[in-house]
Amino acid sequence: MALPTSLAGLAFYKTYQADSIFSKIFKLQLIYSPNAIIMVMIFVSLPFIIRNLQPILLELDSNKEIQESAICLGANSWQIFLFVIFPYIKPSLITGSVLSFARSIGEFGSIIIISSNLPYKDLVVSVLIAQKLEQYDYQSATVIDLAMIKYLILILSLTYLNFFIFLPLFTLLSDILASGILPLFRTYFDYNLFHAFSLTFSLICIVVPFNSLVGLWMAWTLTHQKFWGREILLFVLDIPLTLSPILIGLMMTLLYSKYSYLGSFLLNLGIKITYNSLGILLTTQFITFPLIPRQIIPILSKIDQQEEEAAKTLGANSWQIFWLVIFPYIKRSFLSGAVLTNARVIGEFGALLMISGNIIAKTQTLTLFLEQAYKEYQNYISNAVSLLLFLLSIFLLFFQRYLFL
């Protein structure tokens, strides 16, 4: 989840291309075929199921009294799983499956690299929408979006092999080091790369603090106050997680384009959204906003309010109650949501490609810059950006796993 999908696509391409060691040994042609798309979809979607099940399974593992009681009553392993464990993990399993399904349907950044994008061969819907938009055929793109929502096709994954992760990354790192260290680091002084990095870093500095504060406030409001429309607000909160990024980019482009009422009104005020850094900021904000509230809400809803009432009785004010009583419970979930938000800001591709116009040295983020360098066969530059994104991803995972969690 933390690895940018365009980087994952490039890693798969270098691992399974026709002249790679893997393809020569096993005599398989995976790149530019539907099999490569299936592999990438499994890679990007399966972590949603695992990450949703992990907290529940860890909680069950720490409290084995129910399982031990079932064993004493003569239940076998299958009965324990079906009647004891499965009822606990069922909601998380359904949620993870829906998010995994939505993610695989909307994947764009890695598929555009590892597939030939030819009709009737390996052209997926998200790439087809992007092609229609590049041809300024907005009507066809809109019709395809509606058809995509109506005729969703679920791709079933039977296995998830270890080399899906480790072998592609190892091959990518080997190719990066083979290019040479000095030429690799010289590319970091490229102006266009520096601009893409500064734009990505600026998005992180704005989006993550804003989402942290507003997301924390929204999670607190949704769990501590009962009001009309609360369920509707929870439903709306999940929309950015279930919509395809390419669809979000299309919606934002149509909403703020100069041909729309809102876009023309803002343009008359001197505010340009599309093909500008402001549009990138708004789109990134929309996509990443639910990540923090969705991590916090399940924990806040389980906190016993008697602790808050006891703190009020002892004279604690609202800030002291939150900081000393509530925050220790939600600290890990809050930091996890912040790290996931950071990773999504760095790795977002499909939506930003639509809203930004992918203008060099103006609206290119690191992932857009990587895709541009790859298309132009600039191996040194694409390797340098890949290494930078890889190190950022590893740092975020280390930060989440070992420093605070």
In the predicted model, is pLDDT for residue 128 greater than 70? Answer: no
Q: What is the pLDDT of residue 127?
A: 65
Considering Cα of 305, then 311, then 314, then 317, what sign does the dihedral take?
A: negative
Residues 176-215: b if buried by 16+ CB within 10 A, e if exposed? beebeeeebeebeebeebebbbebbeebbeebbeebbeeb
Q: Which range among 147-156, 251-260, 285-294, 389-398 shows the weakest confidence by mean pLDDT?
A: 147-156
Cβ contacts of 170 within 8 Å, gap of 6 or more: none
pLDDT tier at 157 (50, 70, 90 boundaries)?
very low
Residues 388-400: b if buried by 16+ CB within 10 A, e if exposed? bbbebbeebeebb
User: Residues 34-58: pLDDT tens digits?
Assistant: 777 777 778 777 878 887 777 777 7
- What tokens does 347 get? 């790795």
270-274 mean pLDDT: 90
Q: What is the pLDDT of residue 154?
A: 44
More confident residue, 12 or 323: 323
Q: Which range among 65-74, 215-224, 235-244, 388-397 shows the weakest confidence by mean pLDDT?
A: 65-74
User: Residues 6-31: pLDDT tens digits?
Assistant: 777 777 777 777 677 666 666 666 77
Q: What is the pLDDT of residue 198?
A: 92
Kind and range of the H or E run holding 167? helix 166-178
Q: Domains along the chain?
A: 1-178 (1.10.3720.10), 180-405 (1.10.3720.10)
Cβ contacts of 125 within 8 Å, gap of 6 or more: 105, 144, 147, 148
Residue 359 phi/psi, 5-degree rounding, is -85, 125
Q: Which range among 26-30, 180-184, 390-394 shows the weakest confidence by mean pLDDT?
A: 26-30
